[in-house]
């Protein structure tokens, strides 16, 4: 009799997780598809109606008012998700999903410099945590579910399922990785990306046509480049944090993005809205073809830090791609390495340093650029990660330190 009961329990366990992972994958992939299509639409509209950027301060005021009066419980965004994983308590409010979607699209429509991964992560996690209300889920299983949701959101918004799975695990390193979260993270990452592609989403691919043979000299240049990429990552993190701190001097929160909007509009008019507004994908693509101006990455750091630090919504990752690609592209004028390879190295290495996810970034480089330049990407990512120290764009969890399973085992078998 006990054997039959155990088989029933085992069957229920598998059916429950099949349902949960399939549901999260379908929801996350579909949400990312809706988000990406909407983002493309608002970006195209802004490109054809450049004068709309003058309304960015008003857009910021609207976002600020919405969060101040109706969305205080979800205003912390990614930090709320990570704190929920570290210290599971209340269910993440579902309203995080529509709030961050609205805030991000408005930010991009009117020319704010922001990314998209933060929105995907928050939508996916907010949707996934609602299952805690309808199905009996233990605290440990809830953590696994949220990790799987992060992997699904990241994978489906960038089209990098393996890197997405690793990101969902790696970004949450405290003292160990929940071993049983690995399979759910992989499953949801691949399924969510598949769902997004079923909706017709086409992800951007970057070309690195020329990869020189590995030599001691080129690896030396790569190490130096990794140091520069790590410094750029720290600069971005610290500046965004400082802007956020100074902004608190404005007592009425909705006025913070309003003020930020005025500053960003002035910067865009001075240095080029076409280049620095929104995601900046055309500039990233050009960085792989010809050397960028040395000031491009600095201006993107400044404009993005003000946009996000003063209360607009969106992610940090695509701006980090922009910063890294343009910095690497500019460094190709100094180092005898092909411009496309330098841009690719910066693309992933600055993200590695700022997010503390070198393994995910190395895998992402293979998924985006191919295997041929992997050794250069790996060296740049690890060096940028090491040089950036404790500074991270994901600040939740006071006990989270820059430890990593490249150097110390965190698995709990």
Given this model, what pLDDT does residue 177 score?
Answer: 60
Q: Is the pLDDT of residue 399 over 60?
A: no
Instruction: Write out pLDDT tens, residues 3-18.
Output: 777 777 788 888 889 9
| Beta carbons within 10 angstroms of residue 412's beta carbon | 10
Residue 133's pLDDT band (boundaries 50, 70, 90)?
confident
Average pLDDT, integer, range 209-230: 94
Share of the chain above pLDDT 90, in %: 72
pLDDT of residue 398: 40
pLDDT at residue 4 in the model: 76
Residue-wise pLDDT for 248-297, tens only, equals 999 999 999 999 999 999 999 999 888 999 999 999 999 999 999 999 99
In the predicted model, is pLDDT for residue 403 greater than 60? no
Q: How far apart are CA 362 and CA 351, in angstroms?
A: 10
Tell me: the pLDDT tens digits for 356-388? 999 999 999 999 998 989 999 999 999 999 999
Tell me the average pLDDT of the chain: 89
Listing DSSP states for 299-348 in one string gives: HHHHHHHHHHHTT----SHHHHHHHHHHHHHHHTTTSSS-HHHHHHHHHH
How much is the average pLDDT of 307-323?
Answer: 94
Band of residue 32 on the pLDDT scale cut at 50, 70, 90 = very high
Other beta carbons within 10 angstroms of residue 224's beta carbon come to 15
Residue 390: pLDDT band with limits 50, 70, 90: confident
| Separation CA 365–CA 381 (nearest Å) | 10
Q: Rounded to an integer, what distance in angstroms lies between the CA atom of residue 155 and that of residue 26?
A: 13
pLDDT band at 175 (very low <50, low <70, confident <90, very high): very low
pLDDT at residue 411 tops 60: no
Between CA 73 and CA 53 the distance in angstroms is 29
Q: What pLDDT does 402 receive?
A: 40
Report CA-CA distances (Å) from 43 to 156, 274, 297, 341: 19, 11, 21, 28
Our measurement of the distance from residue 81's CA atom to the centroid of its chain's CA atoms, rounded to an integer in Å, reads 14
């Amino acid at each position: 009799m006990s054997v039959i009961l155990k088989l029933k329990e085992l069957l229920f366990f598998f059916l429950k997780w099949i349902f949960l992972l399939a549901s999260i994958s379908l929801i996350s992939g579909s949400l990312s598809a809706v988000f990406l299509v909407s983002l493309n639409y608002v970006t195209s509209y802004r490109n054809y109606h450049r004068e709309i950027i003058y309304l960015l301060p008003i857009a910021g005021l609207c976002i600020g008012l919405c969060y101040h009066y109706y969305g205080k419980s979800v205003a912390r965004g990614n930090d709320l998700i990570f704190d929920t994983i570290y210290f599971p308590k209340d269910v993440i409010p579902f309203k995080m999903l529509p709030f961050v979607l609205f805030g991000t699209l408005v930010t991009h429509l009117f020319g704010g410099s922001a990314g998209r991964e933060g929105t995907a992560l928050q939508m996916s996690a907010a949707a996934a945590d609602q299952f805690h209300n309808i199905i009996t889920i233990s605290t440990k299983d809830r953590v696994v579910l949220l990790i799987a949701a992060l992997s699904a959101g990241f994978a489906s918004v960038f089209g990098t399922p393996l890197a997405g799975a690793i990101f969902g695990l790696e970004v949450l390193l405290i003292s160990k990785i929940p071993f049983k979260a690995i399979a759910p993270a992989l499953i949801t990452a691949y399924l969510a990306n598949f769902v997004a592609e079923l909706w017709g989403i086409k992800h951007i691919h970057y070309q690195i046509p020329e990869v020189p043979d590995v030599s001691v000299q080129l690896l030396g240049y790569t190490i130096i480049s990794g140091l520069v990429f790590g410094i750029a990552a720290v600069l971005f993190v610290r500046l965004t944090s400082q802007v956020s701190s100074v902004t608190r001097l404005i007592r009425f929160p909705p006025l913070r993005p309003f003020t930020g909007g005025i500053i960003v509009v002035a910067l865009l008019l001075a240095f080029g809205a076409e280049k620095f507004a929104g995601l900046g994908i055309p500039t990233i693509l050009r960085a792989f073809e010809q050397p960028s101006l040395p000031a491009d990455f600095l201006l993107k750091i400044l404009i993005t830090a003000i946009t996000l630090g003063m209360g607009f919504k969106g992610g940090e990752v695509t701006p980090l791609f922009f910063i890294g690609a343009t910095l690497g592209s500019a460094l190709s004028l100094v180092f005898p390495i092909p411009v496309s390879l330098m841009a690719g190295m910066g693309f992933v290495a600055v993200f590695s340093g700022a997010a503390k996810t070198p393994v995910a970034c190395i895998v992402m480089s293979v998924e985006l650029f191919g295997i041929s330049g992997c050794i250069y990407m790996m060296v740049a990512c690890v060096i940028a990660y090491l040089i950036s120290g404790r500074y991270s764009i994901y600040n939740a969890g006071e006990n989270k330190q820059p430890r990593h399973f490249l150097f110390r085992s965190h698995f709990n078998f």
